Amino acid sequence: MTEGERHAQPTTAPGRVSGVPRSVAGYRLLRQIGEGGMSAVFQSYDVAAGRPVAVKILADHLSGQPEFVGRFYREARLSRVLEHPSIVQGIASGYDPDVSKHYLVLEYIDGPTAHGALARLGRLPVGMVVRIGIDIACGLEFLHDRQYVHRDVKPDNILLHPHGIAKLADLGLAKRLNDDSQLTAIHQGVGTTYYMPYEQAVNANLVDGRSDLFALGATLYHLLTGEVPFPGSTHDEVIREKAHDSFRPIRSVNAGVPEELAGIIESMLACDPRARIQRAGRLAEVLIATRLATKLPAFAEGQTHSVACLDPTPEMPTRTDHGPPVEKATSIPPDAPTPTPPKSKSMNWPWIVGTGAVLLALLAGQWVRTRVVPNLPLRATVVQGTSDGLLPGCQQ
C-alpha cells in the first residue's frame, strides 16, 4: 500500500476546502490567503509555539484519491528536508481526524508574491528583478544539486520575504531527476502553460535543471515587461510559439532593460535545452556580475539579508535525451556585490511594494495594466528525444 492509499479518506462530493474549521491540529486558521486546484492556504497561528504560520489544506474532493494525497505528503516531506534561505520551509504535516483534513504547515511569509507585486506595479524595476533572479537561481541550484527539479517556477510561486529575500514556494510538482515513477507519470505535461519549457509541455518526464531555468527566464521576462514571452489563447498555441523560439525581444517591450540583462534572459528561453545557460549556479554568477541587483523592498521591520550561492555544486546530471551540458560553472567572483541594505522601518501596508517604488512608477508613467493571462487547459503529447538531444518539435 502506498503512502497516498494509507492517507486517502472517503469523499462524497467534489469541491475545494468546504466547511473550513476554526483550527486544524492545533493551528488556528485566521484567513484564506491563497487557493489552487489541489489546496487552499490559510494565514494561521501556531498556538503552542506562539508564531504565525501558513497552513495548506488539501481540497476535499482530492482526499479520497491516493495519487493526489501521495503527492501532497511528498511535498510535505520535501519542504521539511530541503532547507535553504530561498525555499519556503515546511514545519509539519498530517491528517486531523477531528476535522477530516490533510494539512501542511509552512513558514508564513508576510509579503506579496512576485505576481502580486507585478499586479500593483505593472513592471518591476530592473534591480529588483535581478535580485529575484539571483535568489531563485540559488534556491534552484540547491534543489538541482540534490537531484530535484521544481517544474513550476512562476511569479505566483515566488514570495517576497519581509527581510528582502525572494523565496521559491510550492514543491507539489517537484520531481527527482530520472525518477519515472507512476506518481510523476500520471500527469504528463504538468506545470503552468505560460512558463513551462517545450520539453516539459510534451512530457513532464523530459525535464532536468535546465527546464527550471527556462521557467525562471519566462518569469523574469514577465516581471520586466508586464507580458508573458509566449502569449496565446490556448495551450497548443503557446507551445507552438515555444517550439519556434518565437517571442518579442525584451527591449522591444521595455527599452529600459539593459542589453546585457536582456541577452541573458532571452538565452534562457531557447527551445533546445543545450542552448540555455546550463546550471542555476552559473546563472546566479552571471546575474551577480551584471552589478544590476538592488535590494528588495522590506515589508516589515527587521534586518535585510542577501542570499548567496555558496560553494559551486558538482555537475548536475542531465537527461541523456537532451545531450550533455556545454559549459561548466565557475566560482562566484570574490568581489561580486551582494548588497546588505540597512534596516528599514515597518510599513502599514505589507502588500504594497514600497511607497517610493510606486511613486517613481507613477512619475515615470509606467503604471500600466498587467497583461491578463487566463488559465489554460493543460494537454500534452508524449514524445521522445532524438539521439542528438534535440526535441523533434524544436525548430532550428
Residues annotated as part of the active site: 152
Residues facing residue 27 across a β-bridge: 24, 46
Tell me which H or E stretch contains 95: strand 90-96
Alpha-carbon distance 273 to 202, whole Å? 14
Tell me which H or E stretch contains 166: strand 166-168
Alpha-carbon distance 214 to 10, whole Å? 39
In sequence order, the 6+-apart residues with CB closer than 8 A to the CB of 294 are 125, 127, 128, 130, 131, 339
* Burial of 210 per CB tally in 10 Å (0-12, 13-18, 19+): buried
Residue 123 has which C-alpha cell? 513592471
- Among residues 241, 239, 193, 194, the alpha carbon closest in space to that of 221 is found at 194
- Among residues 122, 35, 77, the alpha carbon closest in space to that of 361 is found at 122
Q: Identity (one letter) of the amino acid at 317?
A: P
Alpha-carbon distance 229 to 216, whole Å? 12
Residue 182 has which C-alpha cell? 507512476
Query: What's the residue count for the chain?
Result: 396
